Amino acid sequence: MRMRLWVWLGSLVLSLALAACDDNDDHEPSSSGDSGIDGGARGDGGLQDGGLACDVARQEGCGAGESCHFANLPGGGTGSRCFAAECDVVKQDCAAGLRCTYAGAGGVTSRRCVAAGTATEGARCTLAPTDAGLAFDTCEAGLFCKDERQDDGGTAFSCRRLCHTSTQCDASEACNTVLRLAGTPELPLLCGERSQPCDPFAQACAAPLSCYPSSSGPVCAGSGTRGPGESCDFSNQCAPGSACVAAGVGLTCRPLCRPGGPPACSSGTCRPLSGNAGVGACLP
């Protein structure tokens, strides 16, 4: 299973794909995840792109009984959508003694109220015990059993906190790890290690990393190669010095700029990126 380290941002910049590695996971629900940074930065244009139907970090834009999650879109790519379910994995709104988690049955994974586990945050866990046909993990409420690549090349599983935004994580962490679970289009988030801050105009990150905007300020991430105007899902699919921006018609790579300059835009308008003081993107 292919893993990507993603950084989710907001409407103006969607996300960063930090790195890639290979992983094999035979459990159900199967998962892969990737450390990046929190979603939730909004550009001054609001939710502009058709792929973003709601705001994950703020949990805005959905109806009663729904929650907003990043998702695999039917036509390809990623975005955000409102999903109705039995419960909310962050709010933990099940009855006493139960927990809300992703549970698999018959090839379908959904948010269900199940028996609470006993494994605490950071503790080792089992990904898929079963109860009445449902497969789920042994973590406590609000946690999910996440696979972690070890230094010796093996894989271990430990409980990580589910989140919508970094304020729901410990101060040393960010809501930045994206899970891909078999049987659901939802892409839930977990708390993970914060990325290194940087200056996107100095580009002083250690190779092979480059500096890209994020909801909590610019950070070092794996470098992309796509040029201005090329389609993208993640900011660091773009070449250094640019970002993945919702410019009204899909997400495309756009050059970075400093509002008021320098650097200024050779064409278009420099629009500021929320959460990234003095950093903007050149929009047509």
203 or 31, greater pLDDT:
203
DSSP state of 67: E
10 or 194, greater pLDDT:
194
Q: What is the pLDDT of residues 171-224, one digit of tens each?
A: 888 887 888 898 999 999 999 888 889 999 998 998 888 999 876 688 888 888
Q: The tokens of 68 are what?
A: 């907003």
Partners of residue 272 on adjacent β-strands: 280
Phi then psi dihedrals of residue 26, to 5 deg: -100, 5
Find which of 18-27, 42-51, 159-168 is predicted with most confidence, using mean pLDDT.
159-168
Tell me whether residue 63 is exposed, middle or buried, using C-beta atoms within 10 angstroms of its C-beta: 0 to 12, 13 to 18, 19 or more: exposed
DSSP state of 264: P
Task: Indicate the average pLDDT of the chain.
Answer: 78
Q: What pLDDT is stored for residue 248 in this prediction?
A: 67
Q: What is the pLDDT of residues 85-106, one digit of tens each?
A: 999 999 999 999 899 999 999 8
For range 110-125, the mean pLDDT: 94
CB within 8 Å of 196: residues ≥ 6 apart: 205, 219, 220
Question: CB of 262 within 8 A of CB of 242?
Answer: no
Question: CB of 179 within 8 A of CB of 188?
Answer: yes
**Range name among 20-24, 222-226, 254-258, 274-278 with the lowest pLDDT average:** 20-24
Radius of gyration of the chain (CA): 19
154 or 126, greater pLDDT:
126
Helix (H) or strand (E) holding 145: strand 143-149
180 or 16, greater pLDDT:
180
Q: What is the pLDDT of residues 235-271, one digit of tens each?
A: 888 999 999 887 766 788 999 999 988 999 999 899 9
The answer, yes or no, to whether residue 18 has pLDDT greater than 70, is no
Q: What pLDDT is stored for residue 276 in this prediction?
A: 86
Cis peptide before 29 (omega within 30 of 0): yes
Q: What pLDDT is stored for residue 48 in this prediction?
A: 30
> Taking the complete model, does pTM exceed 0.75, yes or no?
no
Phi then psi dihedrals of residue 237, to 5 deg: -80, -20
Q: What pLDDT is stored for residue 235 in this prediction?
A: 83
- CA-CA distance, 198 to 218, in Å (whole number)? 6
For range 46-64, the mean pLDDT: 72
Q: What pLDDT is stored for residue 281 in this prediction?
A: 93
Q: Which amino acid is at 263?
A: P
The answer, yes or no, to whether residue 161 has pLDDT greater than 60, is yes
For range 219-230, the mean pLDDT: 88
- CA-CA distance, 274 to 42, in Å (whole number)? 5
